[in-house]
């Protein structure tokens, strides 16, 4: 997607007050700073103008989304920290409810000098920004699904369960499951995974895929005994990880497949998961990959936060690669193999297998 940089002309003040610069996150030179020669000042100005200007537009003031926003920000900043001489990064926090909050933040923080905006985070905010009539619209990489083609100044980078559902269904076919069963738990995430798996299976015109809804725990023994009588050899599980941990003892002798929707539990809940196969972000499945090492977080993160951190890492790497040109059409990312089409990155997640309480890449 080409990002137009010859946008409508906007009046930019030649001199900003020190307070305004401090608020934007840029370094302020006060009257107490040492005197500079004209040549020094000119060189510094040229160096600053050559650097990429990036705004992180994230819900850092939203109590419900702050932890997620901080994690995405940390992932982006760890990348930008390796490019200190190439990028100027400023944070633009928002947090109020309604479309006006994120749009107002964009208008406040983004001007004609901005090269890239990363954010917002959250479907409602992404939709609001995509529909807004912005006075200054700069190249923007939004971090949640939009559901339609974004405006030509915007692109979408978002992890999705649908691609994982397709990937794990494909893996089950590759593994030659003879009598597969799709087991759906409760909740909207479970439903999304189940729909993706069933749709992919149907499109491939493969062997019949039976489906079952997981009832209360008291019914599990009877249900799984029935599956055994029917020679079910593979279970594609669409449900929460806590439920899977409790269901696992009933699935002995069956291969189990899952997505990231089921892997949001602490390591002590995965002690019995050896051999389970999962479609997830390479950041979690192939965590020792050489190009990931420089961006490792300062502290160990939960799987859910790890995916958000990886999202920040990929967003920063993509805009750094684009610089003042177009986004890469293909990219080997931390959240998956990425392909840009119609302004949205489609991803191919990685399939791994659980060993020692954590997933590793198949074949390792």
Cα distance between residue 29 and residue 260, in whole Å: 47
pLDDT at position 180 over 90: yes
Asked whether the beta carbons of 263 and 241 are under 8 A apart, the reply is yes
Q: Are residues 271 and 142 in the same domain?
A: no
In a domain, 353, yes or no: no
- In tens, the pLDDT along 7-62 reads 332 333 233 333 333 333 332 322 233 444 544 444 445 556 789 999 999 999 99
- pLDDT band with cut points at 50, 70 and 90 for residue 137: very high
Alpha carbons 166 and 182: distance in angstroms, whole number = 13
- For the cut 90, the answer to whether the pLDDT of residue 307 exceeds it is yes
> For residue 266, what pLDDT band results from cuts at 50, 70 and 90?
confident
Q: Looking at the domain assignment, is residue 264 inside a domain?
A: yes
CB 122 within 8 A of CB 59: yes
Domain count, the chain: 2
User: Mean per-residue pLDDT for 65-80?
Assistant: 97
Is it the case that residue 97 has pLDDT exceeding 90? no
**Helix or strand run (H / E) with residue 224:** helix 220-229
Tell me, yes or no, whether 188 and 264 share the same domain: yes
Q: What percent of the chain has pLDDT over 90?
A: 80
For residues 124 and 84, state if they share a domain: yes
Predicted pLDDT of residue 22: 37
Supply φ then ψ for residue 269, to 5 degrees.
Answer: -95, 0
Tell me: do 151 and 217 sit in the same domain.
no
pTM: 0.85
Measure the N-to-C terminal CA separation of the chain; round to a whole number of Å.
Answer: 36
Task: Annotate 305-342 with b (16+ C-beta within 10 A) or e (fewer).
Answer: bbbbbbbbbbbbbbbbebeeeebbeebebbbbbbebee
Q: What is the mean pLDDT of residues 69-82?
A: 98
**Which helix or strand (DSSP H or E) is residue 341 part of?**
strand 337-341
CATH number of the domain encompassing residue 231 = 3.40.50.2300
315 is a domain residue: yes
| Residues 167, 226 within the same domain | yes
Q: Are residues 250 and 135 in the same domain?
A: no
Whether 169 is in a domain gets the answer: yes
Domain final residue pick, 262, 280, 298 = 280
For residues 168 and 264, membership in a common domain is answered with yes
* End position of a domain, from candidates 246, 280, 314: 280
Q: 37 and 102, same structural domain?
A: yes
- Please report whether residue 200 resides in a domain: yes
Per-chain mean pLDDT for the chain:
88
Q: Is residue 80 domain-shared with residue 188, that is, in the same domain?
A: no
| Assigned domain for 357 exists | no
Residues 139, 197, single domain; the answer is no
Instruction: Establish if 53 belongs to a structural domain.
Output: yes
For residue 100, what pLDDT band results from cuts at 50, 70 and 90? confident
pLDDT of residue 28: 30
Percent of the chain with pLDDT over 70: 86
Residues 30 and 169 in one domain: no
- Rounded to an integer, the average pLDDT of 303-332 is 97
| 182-228 per-position pLDDT tens digit | 999 999 999 999 999 999 999 998 899 999 999 999 999 999 999 99
For residues 331 and 259, membership in a common domain is answered with no
Residue 302 lies in a domain: yes
**What residue numbers bound the domain in which 106 lies?**
1-159+282-346
More confident residue, 120 or 364: 120
Q: Which residue has the higher pLDDT, 36 or 155?
A: 155
> Of 280, 312, 332, which one is at a domain's C-terminal end?
280
């Amino acid at each position: 997607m080409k990002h137009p940089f010859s946008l409508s002309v906007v009046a930019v003040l030649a001199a900003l007050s020190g307070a305004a610069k401090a608020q934007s996150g840029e370094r302020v030179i006060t009257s107490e700073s040492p005197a500079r020669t004209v040549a020094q000042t000119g060189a510094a100005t040229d160096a600053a103008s050559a650097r990429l200007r990036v705004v992180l537009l994230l819900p850092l003031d939203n109590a419900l989304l702050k932890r997620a926003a901080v994690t995405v920000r940390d992932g982006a900043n760890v990348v930008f920290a390796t490019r200190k001489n190439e990028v100027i990064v400023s944070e633009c926090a928002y947090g109020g409810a309604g479309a006006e909050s994120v749009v107002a933040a964009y208008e406040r923080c983004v001007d004609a000098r901005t090269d890239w905006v990363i954010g917002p985070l959250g479907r409602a905010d992404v939709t609001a920004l995509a529909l807004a009539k912005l006075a200054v619209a700069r190249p923007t990489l939004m971090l949640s699904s939009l559901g339609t083609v974004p405006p030509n100044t915007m692109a979408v980078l978002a992890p999705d369960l649908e691609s994982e559902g397709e990937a794990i269904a494909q893996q089950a076919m590759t593994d030659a499951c003879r009598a597969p069963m799709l087991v759906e738990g409760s909740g909207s995430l479970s439903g999304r995974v189940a729909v993706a798996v069933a749709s992919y299976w149907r499109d491939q015109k493969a062997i019949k895929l039976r489906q079952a809804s997981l009832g209360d725990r008291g019914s599990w023994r009877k249900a799984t005994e029935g599956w055994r009588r029917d020679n079910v050899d593979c279970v594609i599980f669409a449900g929460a990880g806590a439920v899977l941990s409790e269901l696992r003892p009933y699935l002995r002798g069956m291969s189990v497949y899952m997505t990231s929707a089921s892997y949001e539990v602490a390591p002590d809940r995965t002690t019995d998961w050896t051999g389970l196969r999962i479609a997830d972000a390479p950041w979690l499945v192939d965590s020792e990959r050489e190009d990931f090492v420089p961006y490792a977080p300062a502290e160990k993160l939960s799987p859910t936060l790890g995916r958000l951190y990886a999202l920040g890492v990929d967003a920063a790497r993509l805009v750094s690669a684009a610089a003042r040109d177009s986004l890469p059409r293909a990219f080997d990312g931390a959240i998956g193999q990425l392909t840009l089409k119609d302004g949205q990155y489609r991803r191919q997640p990685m399939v791994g297998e659980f060993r020692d309480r954590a997933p590793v890449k198949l074949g390792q």
